[in-house]
Structure 1
Amino acid sequence: MNNESRVLDMARHFHSQTDPRLHEDHGPLTIVAGEGATVTDDAGNRYIEGMGGLWCASLGFSDSRLADAADRQMRKLAVYHTFNHRSNEPTVELVEQLTALAPFDNARVFLVGSGSEANDTMVKLAWYYQAARGRPEKRKIISRFGAFHGSTIMGAALSGLPHMHKSFNLPPLPIIFAARPFYYLDGLPGEAEHDYATRLAKELEALILAEGPETIAAMIAEPIMGAGGVLVPPENYFPKVQAVLRKYDILMLSDEVVCGFGRTGNWFGSQTFGMEPDMLSVAKGLSSGHLPIGGVIISDKIYQCVADEAHKVGVFGHGFTYSG
């Protein structure tokens, strides 16, 4: 970056997740090229980029196959929406591939533009589902301390990170927080890892009973917590949590924005850790970060109930310009 561009960035660019005053003094690290797992800055320094950008460049930086595919499609049809029964060939092809990978049968896919939008959509679908089955009082969403679920209003509210809340004056939302699964720091002296997972499940059940299970719609969880510290749960953690949720008729929402598409050795992190979600959100690895795209993969149980209700209403009143 030439000096003029650097000055402009410092003076005009309001950066995400950055201290603005420090940026005004120090300016950016400007990346100008990338190949495989490495990126190069404007001074010619090369770095191994272990995080893949923001956890997203799972196929590396500047993948030529993706660039060629984008070029071909943009020259044929650059954009078309999916509202009001419209569709397009790439959307249908993508939905077919995603449903083939889904960890449940007869899945449906709702496409969005980001992981934040995907998690917002899962929460709205959980509320819609509960209302459609005559349980509109089931509105609370369980998240976890240390979680990161996005930067929209709902995504930030679901995130159990203090800096995502401080000074934003977020509106009151029906979100409650359970403990994070961090055995290394939070396990008790002499407590075995499987006993730690059992304790967390019991604490979750106590939280549900204190709040009233009849008021809780769903729990959202990352299979491996990302921004909260890359926390890998105990092996038996999610099966124990899932048993509690089923006992009290609470949905399981898997935030696969970081863990999806092979990051944990399976297509989805929920498969690796024994989670059986009703819905899961995807983004980042869906395009290796080359284009902003995301989606929600929805179980047949949720879809059938939501579709019946939307038919009664006359339309499913949710979607985004860049949905598909």
Structure 2
Amino acid sequence: MSRTISLAVIPGDGIGQEVTAEANRVLDAVLSGSDVRLDRTEFKLGAERLLADGQTLPEAEFEQLKGFDAILFGAVGGVPGDERLRDANIERGLLLKLRFAFDHYANVRPTTLFPGVTSTLADPGEVDFVIVREGTEGPYVGNGGRLRADTPHEVATEVSVNTAFGVERIVRYAFEMAAGRPAQKLTWVHKTNVLVHAGAVWQRVVEAVAAEYPGVAVDYMHIDAATIHMVQQPSRFDVIVTDNLFGDILTDLAGAVGGGIGLAASGNINPDGAFPSMFEPVHGSAPDIAGQQKADPTASILSAAIMLDHLGLAPEAERVRAAVRADLVTRGGEPRTTRAISDAIIAQLA
């Protein structure tokens, strides 16, 4: 029986437009000849749209996005130093608004050191772990404010919000993932010796959920220790679960360990399916190289593979990852254009 997937595409700005185009080409290639069809709608949102008509995420388009099966996102951001964008927080007005409004509480970022890829580490060993970052709580909720702004006596607060409900669902999601992986190991990361109130909630919930997964080995690390171990011995990790801010920091470090942010993919997941999940490379819009065919689309292509997994198309997702893996082995040191990389991955699919 044929199946149609409604896909919202938000290429955004800069290289986001280029890499998203190549990810879509790979999606078409891997689904060619199958009974699955992608029905795409493109949304022009980002810095260019804001400069054109002053809107970040119009209400009508926000409502329209709710009806899609998934969202493929590129990157947003204008030219650094552009005064027209100085006071515009596009990330919060677009990306974070979608994450919070669509309850993307599971931010999933796998890190794999593929054969043929050089890590920033001299001897990393086997690198194959997933960071599960809570996506709707912590200090990113915007609970805070400024008093006596722009004076010598200014006071700024940024409150980190942690609920037992929110912590339990992300911890349970991470345990489920760990239980399905060969190593069956989960590391939870926090700063319980200093952030004693939030840390107590996390510790209580992890211990309670762990009792339901006796086959999963569990350990704990302070966030500062986790950064050391990720550099010294990344092979010790399997599934990491942590809060919004700590996860934001760890995932970028993980990208460097795995060979660079050009390979770092992510999924902003609503596991309940109440809203569309969103899939994006974690790099920025890189306006300095936009339009030059210098951007590596691999992270966007791997994000599309995570999307295929989420949509129940695991064999197709694995075909994409296998094609990327095969291509990375053959790349060598010569730089290739954005289109040439996707062409090579599509050739591996064939």
TM-score, L = length of structure 1: 0.28
By relative contact order (CA 8 Å, sep 6+), the higher-ranking structure is 2
Q: TM-score, normalised by structure 2?
A: 0.26
Give 1 or 2: higher strand fraction. Answer: 2
